[in-house]
Amino acid sequence: MNDPLTEALRGIRFSSGIFVAANFTAPWSVTSCTSIENVRHFGIRTTNVIAYHYVVEGSLFLGFEGEEMIEVKAGEIVLFPRNDCHAMSSRQGLRPVLADTLVREAVAEGFVRIDHGGGGAVTRLICGFLAGEEESPLLSMLPRVLKIDVRAAASRDWVESSLRLAASELADGRVASNPLLARLSEVLFVEAVRQWAEKAGAKDAAWLRGIKDPQVARALALIHDAVDMPRSTDDLAREVAMSRSAFMDRFTALVGMPPIRYQTLWRMATAKQYLRETRRPVAQIAYAIGYESEEAFSRAFKREFGLAPSRWRIEASPPIAIPA
């Protein structure tokens, strides 16, 4: 059975892209906000965007309004699970300008370049996005910003070379390889959450506390690995060798919701992936996530999202390009 953290994160199945190559020279300060329009240039329709910045050279200070700024150095990446607008600068205390107003050169469709600053020390970064599933139980439990050091990653050499290749292709006006970015985005996000979870500051993250508890982690893995075989609370408690009441209390305390609610959210997130990414009939999807009938699945889906599965699929599907 796979590590439940990796399984959960990979289950989100991100789409991804890189859309800005930025070169700043001190002093400089900008406000960055990644919009849905940035993502639509890539033919991706989503309501959930995770922006990220990779510092290729130099360093910067980053933060949110009213909060202390953090330093980000070359070789580090910052990701924003809730896509919050943020300020970046060469030093603290500078007045920021909106990054979108600094776009001077189009590199390719959907890709732009920014050159800005006072001519001092250079900071170079590439900015991209991950477009994921907003209803995933995990995303709402993450902090506003995740920072990882690529040099500490388990796949350091591959991640570093892939990022530099993507930056090089973008700098030359070429679109970075989509298969490369898809794999890279998955690895980066898994690594970001893993590094964060291992720090003392993440001790209050409920979902990740569940991963560290042997019995709850086992229950999470059972839910993730067999979405087509939903289990009752009694079944899960028996599988992890606990009494029903003790298991229910521990799971709810650590994960932040009862096991059956978590299981329902996971099944629905999986259903939405099938609806969006495949042309499988709704009835097949219903059976694939453990419902005995299409009608029962449709009722449950509509109860969660306000739309029948077939209607949701139509609204979530990207527009089809018609040749002229």
Of 202, 235, 259, the domain-final residue: 202
* Same domain for 106 and 216: no
Same domain, 193 and 283: no
Q: What predicted TM-score, i.e. pTM, was given to this entire model?
A: 0.66
For 15, 76, 148, 152, the CA distances from 195, given in Å and listed in that order, are 22, 12, 7, 9
Q: What value does the mean pLDDT of the chain take? A: 80
Answer yes or no: do 170 and 214 share one domain: no
| 76-80/49-57 β-pairing | antiparallel
Q: Sheet containing 76-80: which strands, arranged edge to edge?
A: 103-108, 111-117, 15-25, 122-131, 49-57, 76-80, 146-149
Using a pLDDT cut of 70, give the percent of the chain over it: 70
Tens digits of per-residue pLDDT, 239-263? 999 999 999 999 998 888 899 998 9
Segment 150-189, tens digit of pLDDT: 777 666 677 777 776 766 666 665 555 556 666 676 677 7
Under a CB-based contact definition with an 8 Å cutoff, are residues 112 and 103 in contact? Answer: yes
Instruction: End-to-end CA distance of the chain: give it in Å, rounded.
Output: 49
Last residue of a domain, one of 156, 187, 202: 202
Distances (CA, A) of 152 to 53, 213, 219, 242, 312: 17, 25, 30, 37, 41
Indicate which CATH number applies to the domain containing 111. Answer: 2.60.120.10
Q: Is the pLDDT of residue 11 over 90?
A: no
Range of the domain at 310: 207-316
Using CA atoms, how far residue 304 sits from 205, 268, 284, 308, 310, in Å, is 25, 8, 19, 10, 14
The residue out of 151, 184, 202 marking a domain boundary is: 202
Rounded to 10 degrees, the C-alpha dihedral 212/216/217/221 comes to: -170
